[in-house]
Chains A and B, each alone.
Chain A
């Protein structure tokens, strides 16, 4: 029997790796997730005959737990709107971290000097700490993105408190790891409470613009926690899947942080523009307004149009109307391309998902490196709901907090149209110099309404 179980876990590990590999190309991505799903089902089914899973009440609880957790997740996953995907992923990820912490708690509760080694305890403790932080941190990320919580939260001496809590937690963890199995329940309880508190406190001051990086980081942390639990439970499938995700997630986090030109430690331990701001460069020029009708006609007679979507498009649910507008332009022979900044929206690739939902084929969607040279040759660049990712001060003003961040050079197009709801500055609170540029015109209004007006204006041309 144990032969079958081990073979099944091995098969699952292979399927996970093959599945993730296939997800690296749009053409094979869908089979990839299905293969990984098959691996998950095999591993879960075979665990029902695992020798350590005894019958009786525990068996009933396992089935009941899977039905409840799986059922709720199935229902919520089917129902969630594409724009709310980031917080859903944060939520599911947090659940995984919580589960890993739960395994650790049971292991530590059952530990006796006869059954455990200090190495085992150390690994279990580390995994529990990481899992707890990923759990509570992800829940805060979920609450923030879902709008259940005020965007940022600061109090004086916050960082000192965070560091103090972390240090105490690590000391408690060290006590657990070197206890040789004689674990005081008070120490154990305090360890978990402080681990969870640290996850919350660490995430509270981080603003929405940095959330993609944070969710990705917690995803990696959960993977690592699961991998460590795999060692503790002596389960290679858990170990391999967890570590692969941990490593992959770490790389993804780095890629994202790099795209924002924000070292990870700055995201976690400081705030955007918190210091009251350096010298803002004086802005030259004025904002000019354009009407949707004129903008539509301008693009209808252009040869090449590049559309730069941002989070504002997601909020306004404008992606369907934008695609309708794009198709109208294409029928008139206009070359339309979409330019996506790596951190546009609330997750890497968030815009791609929304555009895919609307039916935009991925071969007219380009990322920063692929399209940045093309802005020079574009007649119109239309920026819809994006702000910081097209702000030229990132190139020009060394004092700006976003200086050095790679941006989409929309300002190099012959004409720029910025679709925007109001006159405020972007998520980071930095004035966008693009809005004042000579070749720029502002198109004020809700993204969806503006897109509908653009569609109407092109249709009116016949």
Chain B
């Protein structure tokens, strides 16, 4: 085990604050792409399903693992495609002459 007891709790806490901080500065116009983007990020569950299927032994475990990999791949790929499509459309009426940095 790499992550032992309280260390896991610390990671949990710090990650939660990180997530909270990142979102708190997002303008309303990006809420949908952002929800979609965060939806993509939890597509990392794909890695977990790969490991779970990787050490599945019985047919039942393999069947569940296989479905889980399909679902997770759908989450990751679909999340990426729709987010990227949405963000591609955002542009400003002011051309490139101004380096917009309104973070």
Contacts and interface: CB of A to CB of B under 8 A. Distances in A.
A454 B7 CA distance: 63
A74 B62 contact: no
A36 interface: yes
Interface string B41-63: 11111111111111111101110
Chain B interface SS verdict (over half): helix
Nearest to B93: A361
A387 interface: no
Nearest to B76: A40
Given A66-B69, A251-B20, A340-B28, A110 B37 contact: no
A239 B39 contact: no
B92 A361 contact: yes
Interface in A78-121: 78, 80, 82, 85-86, 88-89, 91-93, 95-96, 98-103, 105-107, 109-110
B44 A100 contact: no
B82 A92 contact: yes
Contacts of A95: 71-72, 74-75, 78
Interface in A56-79: 57-59, 61-62, 64-74, 76-78
Contact of B85 (A52, A78, A368): A78
A30 interface: yes
A365 interface: yes
Nearest to B91: A361
Contacts of A247: 15-20, 23
Interface size class of A (residues with CB under 8 A): 35 or more
B22 A353 contact: no
B38 to A, nearest CB: 5
Given A102-B68, A231-B8, A23 B48 contact: no
A342 B56 CA distance: 45
Contacts of B24: 251
Given A43-B44, A65-B53, A73-B78, A33 B84 contact: yes
A356 B53 contact: no
Contacts, number: 405
Given A58-B53, A236-B2, A69 B72 contact: yes
A29 B36 CA distance: 12
A427 to B, nearest CB: 18
A119 to B, nearest CB: 8
Nearest to A224: B42
B22 A244 contact: yes
Interface stretch (A285-293, A344-352, A400-408): A344-352
Contacts of B31: 252, 256, 342, 347-349, 352
Contacts of A203: none
Contacts of B72: 69, 95-96, 99
A399 interface: no
A249 B16 CA distance: 10
A305 interface: no
A227 interface: yes
A242 B44 contact: yes
Contact of B23 (A40, A82, A252): A252
A54 interface: yes
Contact of B53 (A61, A109, A364): A61
A241 B44 contact: yes
Nearest to A68: B70
A243 B38 CA distance: 11
Contact of A20 (B37, B75, B84): B37
Given A50-B51, A89-B82, A361-B92, A33 B42 contact: no
A88 B78 contact: yes
A435 B88 CA distance: 37
Contacts of A362: 29, 90-92
Contacts of A68: 70, 73
A132 interface: no
A211 interface: no
A61 B62 contact: yes
A243 B12 CA distance: 7
Interface of B: 1-3, 8, 11-12, 15-20, 22-58, 60-62, 64-94, 100-103
11 contacts: A21-B22, A33-B37, A92-B75, A99-B48, A103-B68, A215-B35, A240-B11, A249-B38, A347-B31, A352-B30, A352-B31
Interface of A: 6, 9, 12, 16-17, 19-21, 23-30, 32-34, 36-37, 40, 43-44, 47-48, 50, 52-54, 57-59, 61-62, 64-74, 76-78, 80, 82, 85-86, 88-89, 91-93, 95-96, 98-103, 105-107, 109-110, 215-216, 219, 222-223, 226-227, 229-231, 233-252, 256, 340, 342, 347-350, 352-353, 356-357, 359, 361-365, 367-368
The 6 A-B pairs with the shortest beta carbon distances in the complex, nearest first, are A102-B68, A53-B54, A77-B81, A247-B19, A65-B69, A69-B73
